[in-house]
């Protein structure tokens, strides 16, 4: 006879240590003998922007009127050395995502959406596509350890160069692109065989440390006539030291990507267990820039900080900026805006053993939304013009949300947000973000460094 009582009523208790997800992972490993890889970022609960709140103005501060008083959103990136720094209308930029991981249409749509709101988009592993260049007003060209798709002519076509040392989802690790996504075009751009799994290197082949990187950065400046800002991107781990060394190497802009940051494909164990949360990385980066005397928010001559990893809305943008970022970058949220994980494809996700809102098998190349795939039929489902329109809408909303918060804090520019505008609602977040616990003046750990 079936027992209709709930599991709790039957006295069954799930182990906190061996919960159902853990049991399924052990069973999967035992069954297949291969480790799990997936896309997206860390899924575990971590201290994050949700653990911070803004102190809106009342008596002791003076708020700005939403419809009448300006709150500017622009940002200049890379003015320290470059003849042509990037001047963006919104500080919400699109992070580097590879052609190979994403379809050509998705890359084009990212360019269309970003350009419509006057922000930048970024290439990725696998190089620059003509569609992407054509549709992107401000295009950052990634210079990656793999050198897949790297081409000096494309470097010259870019508006800025991002030297990638690592990603928040996998600091210390390289990327993966499985054979099913290596179409003729992807293979051609990477000069590697079609249909064969590719691993991207975890470190650059021709330099090993900051002194060598300084030489490499000078080389990049020379071949692009000192025109373009040079970014250095690091995955968040020893962020204080990494940012200091990136600046010593000559970076005009430092990009810090926290462990919630998305990826196209990496080992699950890497995504969930390596790196530090975005919230913990920002104050370390800011401290490093301040100690070097180059943290001048909104100033052209400083080194700008771009933060990424789990940014989902205008509140996250405002919080990252209040903690010291000059701009942010988004990956996963941009893909969702394009149509990734859309309930329209619920039945297709079910067929793949997933569900809308859970789909993270970007490595498989069977994305029903036509975004993380190279399959011609699936890619054809995706309309780059419509995708670009949706992304532009999302970027507009995000920027307006950040402005709304900034005005409430009495700020006439997003760059004027500051840590003093924030409190934390958990001890962990207070300690990591270095802002007081709400209702107190207490910042745990202050004075002890890190
Ligand atoms: C599909 C996908 C592909 C990516 N490809 C690259 C890449 O080629 N190079 C790189 O530096 N980062 C890559 N990333 C990481 C992003 O640049 C960025 O650091 C991350 O997505 C930011 O976190 P978020 O996704 O939570 O916004 C990729 C991310 C995704 C989701």
Domain, as residue range, for 138: 49-433
pLDDT of residue 166: 96
Per-position b or e across 379-410, b if 16+ CB within 10 A of its CB: bebbebeebbbbbbebbeebbebbbebbbbbb
pLDDT of residue 447: 58
Look at the chain and report how many structural domains it folds into: 1
Which residues make Cβ contacts (< 8 Å) with residue 97, sequence separation at least 6?
Answer: 107, 110, 122, 124, 264, 331, 334, 335
pLDDT of residue 450: 43
pTM reported for the whole predicted model = 0.97
Residue 166: inside a domain, yes or no? yes
Residue 20: inside a domain, yes or no? no
Residue 43: inside a domain, yes or no? no
pLDDT of residue 67: 82
Residue 2: inside a domain, yes or no? no
Q: Bridge-partner residues for 52, per DSSP? A: 424
Per-position b or e across 181-200, b if 16+ CB within 10 A of its CB: bbbeebbebbebeeeeebeb
Distances in Å between the Cα of 166 and the Cα atoms of 34, 145, 201, 328, 431 are 24, 9, 10, 16, 25
Residues of the chain with pLDDT under 50: 448-450
Residue 33: inside a domain, yes or no? no
The string of pLDDT tens digits covering residues 398-437 is 999 999 999 999 999 999 999 999 999 999 999 999 999 9
Of 97, 143, 176, best ligand 1 pocket probe by most atoms within 8 Å of the beta carbon: 97
Residue 14: inside a domain, yes or no? no
pLDDT of residue 449: 45
The string of pLDDT tens digits covering residues 354-401 is 999 999 999 999 999 999 999 999 999 999 999 999 999 999 999 999
User: Is the CB of residue 124 below 6 angstroms from any atom belonging to ligand 1?
Assistant: yes
Alpha-carbon torsion (218, 223, 224, 230), positive or negative: negative
Of 95, 186, 309, best ligand 1 pocket probe by most atoms within 8 Å of the beta carbon: 95
Q: How far is the CA of 229 from the centre of ligand 1 (A)?
A: 20
Q: How far is the CA of 334 from the centre of ligand 1 (A)?
A: 10
Q: How far is the CA of 328 from the centre of ligand 1 (A)?
A: 13
Residue 449: inside a domain, yes or no? no
CA distance 382 to 368: 9
Which residues make Cβ contacts (< 8 Å) with residue 380, sequence separation at least 6?
Answer: 370
Q: What CATH number is associated with residue 149?
A: 3.20.20.70
| Nearest CA among 174, 140, 143 for reference residue 157 | 140
Residue 194: inside a domain, yes or no? yes
């Amino acid at each position: 006879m079936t027992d209709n009582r709930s599991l709790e009523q039957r006295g069954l208790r799930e182990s906190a240590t061996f919960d159902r997800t853990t049991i399924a992972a052990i069973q999967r490993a035992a069954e297949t003998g291969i480790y799990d890889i997936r896309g997206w970022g860390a899924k575990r609960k971590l201290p994050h922007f949700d653990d911070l709140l803004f102190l809106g103005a009342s008596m002791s501060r003076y708020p700005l009127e939403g419809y009448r008083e300006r709150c500017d959103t622009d940002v200049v990136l890379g003015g320290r050395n470059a003849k042509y720094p990037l001047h963006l209308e919104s500080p919400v930029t699109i992070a580097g995502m590879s052609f190979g991981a994403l379809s050509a249409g998705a890359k084009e749509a990212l360019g269309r959406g970003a350009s419509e709101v006057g922000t930048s988009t970024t290439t990725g592993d696998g190089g620059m596509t003509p569609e992407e260049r054509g549709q992107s007003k401000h295009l950052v060209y990634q210079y990656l350890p793999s050198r897949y798709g790297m081409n000096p002519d494309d470097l010259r076509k870019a508006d800025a160069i991002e030297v990638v040392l690592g990603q928040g989802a996998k600091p210390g690790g390289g990327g993966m692109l499985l054979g099913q996504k290596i179409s003729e075009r992807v293979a051609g751009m990477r000069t590697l065989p079609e249909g064969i799994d590719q691993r991207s290197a975890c470190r650059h082949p021709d330099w090993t440390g900051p002194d060598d990187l300084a030489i490499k950065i000078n080389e990049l400046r020379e071949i692009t006539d000192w025109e373009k800002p040079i970014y250095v991107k690091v995955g968040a781990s020893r962020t204080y030291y990494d940012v200091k060394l990136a600046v010593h190497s000559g970076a005009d802009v430092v990009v810090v990507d926290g462990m919630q940051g998305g990826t196209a494909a990496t080992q699950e164990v890497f995504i969930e267990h390596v790196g530090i949360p975005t919230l913990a990385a920002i104050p370390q980066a800011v401290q490093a820039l301040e100690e070097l005397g180059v943290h001048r928010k909104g100033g052209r001559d400083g080194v700008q900080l771009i933060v990424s990893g789990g940014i989902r809305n205008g509140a996250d943008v405002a919080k990252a900026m209040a903690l010291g970022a000059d701009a942010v970058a988004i990956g996963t949220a941009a893909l969702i805006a394009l149509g990734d994980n859309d309930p329209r494809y619920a039945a297709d996700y079910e067929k793949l053993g997933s569900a809308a809102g859970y789909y993270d098998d970007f490595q498989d190349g069977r994305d029903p939304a036509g975004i993380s795939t190279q399959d011609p039929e699936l890619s054809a489902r995706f309309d780059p013009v419509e995708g670009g329109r949706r992304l532009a809408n999302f970027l507009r909303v995000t920027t307006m949300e950040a402005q709304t918060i900034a005005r409430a804090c009495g700020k006439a520019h997003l760059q004027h947000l500051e840590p003093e505008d924030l409190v934390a609602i958990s001890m962990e977040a207070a300690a990591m973000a270095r802002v007081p616990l709400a209702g107190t003046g207490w910042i745990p750990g202050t004075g002890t460094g890190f």
